[in-house]
A and B are shown apart, each in its own frame.
Chain A
Amino acid sequence: MRLLDIISLLLGVLLAPLLPGIINRTKAFFGGRKGQPVLQLYYDLYKLLGKGAVYSHTTSWVFRAGPVVGLAAMLTALALVPCGGQGSFLKFQGDLLLFAYLLGLLRFFTVIAALDTGSAFEGMGASREVQIAALAEPAFLLGLSVVALETGSLSLTGIFERLSFETWASAAPALLLVAAAWLVVFLAENARIPVDDPNTHLELTMIHEVMVLDHGGPDFAFVLYTSALKLWVLGALLAALALPARTGHPAGDVAVFLCGQFALAVVVGAIESTMARLRLVRVPQLLVAAGVLSALALFLGLVR
């Protein structure tokens, strides 16, 4: 294990809460506001970790286990994700599947923790979450098959080590389709506009936010941090796919990768500022379209 592998893990652990800050600042810029500090989430996490907690009488240990299992799943997923072309903490052939299913584990526990509160709002959010996830998963995994095919590796590290602008030159249409599909999956999985609005005021219209309404104190800090990590790991894949620059020096590669991550956050902020949220009945169509894009990319990659 190289020092760099640990650094890619540490970068995620330390910098993940930066992404929501960048997104919010971008949205503030578009709205003509000054906006909250870029480090706001760090302050929030620090404050929440220092608090006590209030639990509903209805809840059981499942509610308390939800944030813990979710965070553990996300940290494990982070360990599998390379920092651009640089190695990840853990790697083996087939780890891309494990990565996808760790996201599934996080979702399952978030959903049952929400159902544990017995609230109709949280049930509604959970119901929407599982619907969106069930449709996003094929799009994501098919996209992974395409990049695995193009690079000849079944490990996230191997894929992104081998992915370069030459790969883009030879298979641009397929990779472009995958990038488009993944952007949709990225927005949907991270509960961003046009699928979900993190800033909505009405419980009835939320998806992700409503599921964590009842969490407080350290539990909520875990939940917020988990969301930031999810943004980081899915963003890492998208950034590494879209910007596979090789500078010839590890530090340079990492810098390029970080630029990609932050640029992605700016893009998300721009999308959130310029688009309206889709009606809920349209969301499945968007996700199925993403799945079709991935499938099409698979055809392009293989027919070549």
Chain B
Amino acid sequence: MNLLLAALVVLGTSALAALLSGRNARAAASFGVGGSLVGCALASIPVLRVLAGATLDPIRAGWSIPGGSFFVHLDPLSAFFLLPILFLGAVAAVYGGAYLPSHEGGAHGVPAAPPRALGPAWFFYNLLIASMILVVTSRNGMLFLMAWEVMALTSFFLVTFEDEKPAVREAGWTYLVATHIGTAFLLFFFVLLGREAGTLDFDRFAGLPLAPALASLLFSLAVVGFGAKAGFLPLHVWLPEAHPAAPSHVSAVMSGVMIKTGIYGLVRSLTFLGAPASWWGWLLIGIGLTSGILGVVMALAQHDLKRLLAYHSVENIGIIALGLGAGVLGLHYHLPSLTVLGFAGGLLHVLNHALFKGLLFLGAGAVAHSTGTRELDVLGGLLKRMPWTGAAFLIGSVAICGLPPLNGFVSEFLIYYGAYCGIAAPGRVAIPIVLSIVAGLALIGGLAAACFAKAFGSVFLGEPRSDHATQAHEASTWMIVPQYVLATGCMAIGLLSPWLIDVLIPVIEPLTGPVSADVLAPASHVLEGVTTVGIGLLGLIALLAVLRLGLLHNRTMGATGTWDCGYAAPTARMQYTASSFAQPLTDLFRMFLRSRKEPVALRTVFPESRHFATETPDVWRDLLFRPLFNGVAWVFGRFRWLQHGRVQLYVLYIAIALLALLVWKLG
């Protein structure tokens, strides 16, 4: 545990040192990257020990704040969430060290921005990592909320790194509002729980005799409060704004691990609330289905690579929610297999998503950095110009689509398998469980494959569609190495899953109760099968590749243009674009997307140039939150007469308030 504190101290001091280095970019980066690496390495020692089965003593110290105490503990659940935080935090810091300094230079004719002080960026980055560590280890409501708030604020400042751009300021503002609405619900959640328990320490929350109505209220508060951070639909609206605005290594950390603190919070709250009601599970499954399916559908309609990835985070959070929902239903209906596999699959997907989404955001950053654009329809052919980034992006794409033999498949497989075990549910409950999870995951998987075929295809394959893409160059070594570290993680989890399930069991035991061997043994046996087939598949690929090379050895090999039906003058712009590729599916789901299409009117017989554009703004933002906030603004606008800038009147308000308080207290 002391190592964990040491890690926090290292992260904090290195953050300060980076801040004080001010305009000395090199010093700031050294402090930032070095601090992150040392801090994450230090913290990973107790984390690995706990995951290996050790138990550590909690640290508890008094604190002068009412209800607060410095109470931190590292149990397997915390350790499991810390694993991706530390891993991705360190890897993304290395990437950021190479990415941030060159981030300044405008690529390809865009005038370079004036040099920016990198100190604050590293200050906030290291504090963000430290606050995330504290969020998942704190065992006191007050400490938790403070760490939560530091996490929100540091990530806000990281999102607004390029604050000279209006779009970035807008994104930062959306994020700030969304995260604080979530925090408001959490405040209420902890106050209610604290009133029941008489303290804000987590160890007293568990096992409280909560009335069912109160437990349900607390659960709803947790779903909204933590869901706003995790990105449950329709609380996801800040994700597609904030992730593209932030520098790419920050997007990777925010999307890969920061939003998972919301999942952590939800899982931790479930351990407080006792036996779950069935509607909790159905709610989570409903959230999972809507977030999963609509998240990927909205991703399909995007033209901006990082915005597309941000919507995929909504999709993957949906898959995680499906797993958790299955687990909760399993608890309610006493189906141990469904419980264990649902929770295990959901939590394993947390780790998996951190790996492949981190990888994809780092790849997207390398592309944006090299070409100066994130617009899918002007890219293309980058695989030849950025071979390393391209190959890593392909690995990430296969993983996120849940295709074997990589890690995304393993976690989705566990959730599916849990649902199939749900067939044993009593009476008619099994129908909706199997129907929603199997059909939902199958549809999500198919749509995700479509979306990543589109993303990878339009960015890396074919011919470059513009000068941005023609002049692209491979990213620097230290931007590539982190991508391959994450890609290795994707492979490893994909092929080593039978051993991982043993690590997961103590993680989910606070939720499921003791896991018996007759649930566990079949699960690990099944995963052994998956691993065998995965290795067999890789072996076959290698064998067939050798066979193909052997066949083509010493044969005549020609090179020509792509077959285009004999058309005389093909250009790169005639390739199928990302928007055209996605059009059949976006048309199918148009009622959820409401894309705006600029109509093309061809009136004359020989029309000259015509322009066509589509745009898909977030429909929830436009149709739900904009009217809502306009309404709120209107209501508060009615009270504007109270405020007209005369100090005397304000003093009068204060006097009246004091008088009223006095009367109330005396009377």
Provide the bound-state CA to CA distance between A115 and B459, in Å.
10
Contact check, A71 vs B438: say whether CB atoms are below 8 A apart: no
Provide the bound-state CA to CA distance between A101 and B398, in Å.
11
Contact check, B563 vs A137: say whether CB atoms are below 8 A apart: no
Residues of B within 8 A of A122 (CB): 562, 576
Does A117 have its Cβ within 8 Å of any Cβ on chain B?
A: yes
Q: Mark B444-462, 1 if CB is under 8 A from A, else 0.
A: 0111011011101110111
Provide the bound-state CA to CA distance between A197 and B555, in Å.
33
Contact check, A118 vs B380: say whether CB atoms are below 8 A apart: yes
A58-B562, A90-B536, A112-B456 given; A298·B557 CB < 8 A: no
- Pick the residue among A56, A218, A280, A299 that contacts B431 (CB under 8 A): A299
Contact check, B537 vs A134: say whether CB atoms are below 8 A apart: no
Q: Give the residue name and chain of the B residue nearest to A280 (CB).
A: B584
Residues of A within 8 A of B416 (CB): 94, 97
Provide the bound-state CA to CA distance between A65 and B395, in Å.
13
For chain B residues 390-408, which have a beta carbon within 8 Å of chain A?
A: 394, 398, 401-404
Provide the bound-state CA to CA distance between A213 and B45, in Å.
54
Contact check, A76 vs B557: say whether CB atoms are below 8 A apart: no
| Interface-located stretch among A35-43, A103-111, A246-254 | A103-111
Contact check, A133 vs B449: say whether CB atoms are below 8 A apart: yes
Does A130 have its Cβ within 8 Å of any Cβ on chain B?
A: yes
Does A93 have its Cβ within 8 Å of any Cβ on chain B?
A: yes
Provide the bound-state CA to CA distance between A188 and B541, in Å.
26
Contact check, A222 vs B450: say whether CB atoms are below 8 A apart: no
Q: Give the residue name and chain of the B residue nearest to A146 (CB).
A: B434
Provide the bound-state CA to CA distance between A195 and B428, in Å.
35
Residue contacts A-B, CB under 8 angstroms, 12 given: A54-B559, A56-B562, A62-B394, A68-B545, A75-B540, A76-B533, A79-B536, A94-B529, A95-B533, A111-B449, A111-B457, A138-B438
User: 6 closest A-B pairs (Cβ-Cβ)?
Assistant: A123-B576, A92-B529, A134-B446, A118-B462, A115-B457, A130-B450
Does B27 have its Cβ within 8 Å of any Cβ on chain A?
A: no
User: Which residue of B431, B460, B576 has the most chain A CB atoms within 10 A of its CB atom?
Assistant: B576
Does A124 have its Cβ within 8 Å of any Cβ on chain B?
A: yes
12 more CB-based (< 8 A) A-B contacts, given A76-B536, A107-B449, A119-B564: A52-B558, A93-B417, A94-B413, A104-B445, A104-B446, A117-B563, A122-B576, A123-B580, A130-B449, A140-B442, A142-B442, A213-B563
Contact check, B565 vs A126: say whether CB atoms are below 8 A apart: no
Q: Mark B496-513, 1 if CB is under 8 A from A, else 0.
A: 000000000000000000
- Pick the residue among A75, A101, A130 that contacts B404 (CB under 8 A): A101
A72-B544, A111-B457 given; A53·B525 CB < 8 A: no
Residues of A within 8 A of B409 (CB): 101
Contact check, A214 vs B537: say whether CB atoms are below 8 A apart: no
A95 to chain B minimum Cβ distance, whole angstroms, is 6
Provide the bound-state CA to CA distance between A91 and B526, in Å.
10
A145-B438, A302-B430 given; A94·B581 CB < 8 A: no
Does A141 have its Cβ within 8 Å of any Cβ on chain B?
A: yes
B274 to chain A minimum Cβ distance, whole angstroms, is 30
Q: Give the residue name and chain of the A residue nearest to B452 (CB).
A: A108
A216 to chain B minimum Cβ distance, whole angstroms, is 9
Provide the bound-state CA to CA distance between A121 and B528, in Å.
42
Contact check, B555 vs A130: say whether CB atoms are below 8 A apart: no
Does B583 have its Cβ within 8 Å of any Cβ on chain A?
A: yes
Q: Give the residue name and chain of the A residue nearest to B416 (CB).
A: A97
Contact check, B561 vs A57: say whether CB atoms are below 8 A apart: yes
A104-B445, A141-B439 given; A55·B563 CB < 8 A: no
Does A260 have its Cβ within 8 Å of any Cβ on chain B?
A: no
Contact check, B423 vs A145: say whether CB atoms are below 8 A apart: yes
Q: Mark A58-85, 1 if CB is under 8 A from B, else 0.
A: 1111101101110111011001100000
Q: Give the residue name and chain of the A residue nearest to B437 (CB).
A: A145
Q: Mark A131-149, 1 if CB is under 8 A from B, else 0.
A: 1011111101110010011
Contact check, B413 vs A98: say whether CB atoms are below 8 A apart: yes
For chain A residues 214-251, which have a beta carbon within 8 Å of chain B?
A: 214, 217-219, 222
- Pick the residue among A65, A94, A140 that contacts B526 (CB under 8 A): A94
A58-B562, A108-B401 given; A127·B584 CB < 8 A: yes
- Pick the residue among A90, A108, A133 that contacts B529 (CB under 8 A): A90
A76-B536, A115-B461 given; A120·B574 CB < 8 A: yes
Does A163 have its Cβ within 8 Å of any Cβ on chain B?
A: no
- Pick the residue among A90, A92, A126, A222 that contacts B453 (CB under 8 A): A126
Residues of B within 8 A of A98 (CB): 404, 413, 529-530, 533
Contact check, A298 vs B457: say whether CB atoms are below 8 A apart: no
Does B601 have its Cβ within 8 Å of any Cβ on chain A?
A: no
Does A171 have its Cβ within 8 Å of any Cβ on chain B?
A: no
- How many residues of chain A have a CB within 8 Å of chain B? 85
Does A128 have its Cβ within 8 Å of any Cβ on chain B?
A: yes
A294 to chain B minimum Cβ distance, whole angstroms, is 8
B292 to chain A minimum Cβ distance, whole angstroms, is 13
A49-B551, A62-B383 given; A134·B403 CB < 8 A: no
Provide the bound-state CA to CA distance between A59 and B559, in Å.
10
Does A284 have its Cβ within 8 Å of any Cβ on chain B?
A: yes
Contact check, A135 vs B435: say whether CB atoms are below 8 A apart: no
Does B623 have its Cβ within 8 Å of any Cβ on chain A?
A: no
- Pick the residue among B428, B462, B529, B558 that contacts A54 (CB under 8 A): B558
Contact check, B450 vs A56: say whether CB atoms are below 8 A apart: no
Does A5 have its Cβ within 8 Å of any Cβ on chain B?
A: no
A279 to chain B minimum Cβ distance, whole angstroms, is 13
Residues of A within 8 A of B428 (CB): 302-303
Does A174 have its Cβ within 8 Å of any Cβ on chain B?
A: no
Contact check, B562 vs A54: say whether CB atoms are below 8 A apart: no
Residues of A within 8 A of B533 (CB): 76, 79-80, 90, 95, 98
Residues of A within 8 A of B618 (CB): none
Contact check, B420 vs A148: say whether CB atoms are below 8 A apart: yes
Residues of B within 8 A of A284 (CB): 584, 588
Residues of A within 8 A of B454 (CB): 130
A118-B461, A142-B438, A302-B428 given; A73·B446 CB < 8 A: no
A72-B544, A94-B413, A284-B588 given; A123·B403 CB < 8 A: no
Contact check, B404 vs A105: say whether CB atoms are below 8 A apart: yes
Residues of A within 8 A of B61 (CB): none
A104-B403, A105-B403, A134-B449 given; A69·B562 CB < 8 A: no
Q: Give the residue name and chain of the B residue nearest to A155 (CB).
A: B529
Provide the bound-state CA to CA distance between A138 and B293, in Å.
12
Contact check, B565 vs A54: say whether CB atoms are below 8 A apart: no
Q: Give the residue name and chain of the B residue nearest to A210 (CB).
A: B563
Does B582 have its Cβ within 8 Å of any Cβ on chain A?
A: yes
Contact check, B564 vs A102: say whether CB atoms are below 8 A apart: no
Does A295 have its Cβ within 8 Å of any Cβ on chain B?
A: yes
Contact check, B560 vs A57: say whether CB atoms are below 8 A apart: yes
Residues of B within 8 A of A62 (CB): 383, 394, 460-461
Q: Give the residue name and chain of the B residue nearest to A134 (CB).
A: B446
Contact check, B552 vs A123: say whether CB atoms are below 8 A apart: no
Contact check, B555 vs A53: say whether CB atoms are below 8 A apart: yes
Contact check, B540 vs A51: say whether CB atoms are below 8 A apart: no
Q: Give the residue name and chain of the B residue nearest to A110 (CB).
A: B453
- Pick the residue among B403, B450, B525 that contacts A93 (CB under 8 A): B525
A85 to chain B minimum Cβ distance, whole angstroms, is 20
Contact check, A218 vs B552: say whether CB atoms are below 8 A apart: yes
Does B198 have its Cβ within 8 Å of any Cβ on chain A?
A: no
Q: Give the residue name and chain of the A residue nearest to B462 (CB).
A: A118
Contact check, A119 vs B401: say whether CB atoms are below 8 A apart: no
Does A209 have its Cβ within 8 Å of any Cβ on chain B?
A: no
Does A154 have its Cβ within 8 Å of any Cβ on chain B?
A: yes
A76-B533, A118-B572 given; A291·B446 CB < 8 A: no
Residues of A within 8 A of B584 (CB): 127-128, 131, 280, 284
B379 to chain A minimum Cβ distance, whole angstroms, is 12
B557 to chain A minimum Cβ distance, whole angstroms, is 6
B456 to chain A minimum Cβ distance, whole angstroms, is 6
Contact check, B548 vs A214: say whether CB atoms are below 8 A apart: no
Residues of B within 8 A of A141 (CB): 438-439, 442
Residues of A within 8 A of B556 (CB): 52
Provide the bound-state CA to CA distance between A141 and B442, in Å.
7
